[in-house]
Amino acid sequence: MEKSEDELFSMHFYLLKKVREKSGPASLCAPLVMFKLKDYCTCNNIAQTQSIKKSVSMDLLTKPLAGLWLALSSKLCTAARCSTSNSYADTRPEDYTIGALHEDEDEDWDSGLPGMRRRRQTNRASSKNSAVTDMQVNQQIELETGLQRLREMYSLGPDWMFVQEDTRTITTIFYRSVMLGFLLNVVKAAQAESKSSKNKNISPSQAVMKMGTNSMSDSTRVIKEAARGSVRLTAFAASLLYLSQSIAAYRNQSSVWEYSISTAVAMACAGFGKPPRTFTLSVLGGAIAGALGGSLVCSMLSSVGASQEQRTLNRIRQKLGQQQQQQTLTIDDGVI
């Protein structure tokens, strides 16, 4: 598509603005074009202005955009200042972008200089306000209570899945642990049943006669033992995974205590039905093991930036960012 004269001239104005900002490349345009732009900025005759404008547009099509012109930088800056101070003294250069070089359909623009468009002030203000500050995050964390964090931790989405990614990860580990534990308990119960049947003094003829009934009863006992072990393992895994993370979320702090408490409760669930001495020793051993393992886990989480405090900061920051983005979209829709 052929560019109009206004668009071509706006490209030259963009080059001048880049020189003024000292951020453009060294080879922007031929010196002849720059001198014509300087004449255009200082010209008051409308007819002569249009003539210079057409000449500049032709130069853009015919002259190569090459050459180092550092010696002309002072003259170029003077021309740019003259152009902006005559008609747009109260407008900053960054408020303008080039229509031919910068096209953004998602933003609203106002017509300004020929070939140029001015961004709405509301969009620029809303983009500045879109950044979430640390003060806002800290205020939101102070307003949250432990029960609110727990409710948000176990809240379900429309697809009946946990909203928080941490809870989904814990649930996946929990399901896999229960399934693996059930299979291991089946194998363990089958081995125990086979060993007990071998210890019985049964003649070969009696073994053949009772083969059918024994196979059914043995399978039933194996399933019962596997189910009993799976229930204990489920309680153990739930206490170890969910209880520790629930305590950390309620306190909003990762420490050794939640792992020590959750491991002690898990060992109590696993040792349920055992003699009191064995039960007490298992609980104490679980508390000590949880404290040692919790110290390693906490140090590892802190090193990778995944402690409870850091996860809460990231969650609140993301939540506030989404809220401000929704407000920005609402403001922009109202302006349009």
Reduced 3-state DSSP string for the chain: CCCCHHHHHHHHHHHHHHHHHCCCCCCCCCHHHHHHHHHHHHCCCHHHHHHHHHHHHHHHHHCCCCCCCHHHHHHHHHHHHHHHHHHCCCCCHHHEEECCCCCCCCCCEEECCCCEEEECHHHHHHHHHCCCCHHHHHHHHHHCCHHHHHHHHCCECCCCCECCHHHHHHHHHHHHHHHHHHHHHHHHHHHHHHHHHHHCCCCHHHHHHCHHHHHHHHHHHHHHHHHHHHHHHHHHHHHHHHHHHHHHHHHCCCCHHHHHHHHHHHHHHHCCCCCHHHHHHHHHHHHHHHHHHHHHHHHHHHHCCCCHHHHHHHHHHHHHHHHHHHHHHHHHHHHC
Answer yes or no: are the C-beta atoms of 283 and 107 closer than 8 Å. no
Average pLDDT over residues 120-124: 45
Average pLDDT over residues 56-66: 45
Domain boundaries, the chain: 5-119
Per-residue confidence (pLDDT) for residue 326, from 0 to 100? 81
Predicted TM-score (pTM) of the model is: 0.52
Average pLDDT over residues 263-270: 88
Average pLDDT over residues 130-154: 85
> What would the pLDDT profile of 87-102 be if each residue is shown by its tens digit?
434 444 444 343 333 4
Rounded CA-CA distance 9/114 in Å is 8
* The 116-119 sheet, strands edge to edge: 96-98, 116-119, 109-111
How sure is the predictor about 13, in pLDDT bands with cuts at 50, 70 and 90?
Answer: low
More confident residue, 83 or 285: 285
Q: Considering only CA atoms, which of 175, 130, 194 is closest in space to residue 331?
A: 130
Average pLDDT over residues 130-146: 82
Average pLDDT over residues 232-260: 89
How sure is the predictor about 6, in pLDDT bands with cuts at 50, 70 and 90?
Answer: low
Token pair of 289 as six digits: 């093991």
Has residue 292 got a pLDDT over 90? yes
Percent of the chain with pLDDT over 70: 51
More confident residue, 58 or 193: 193
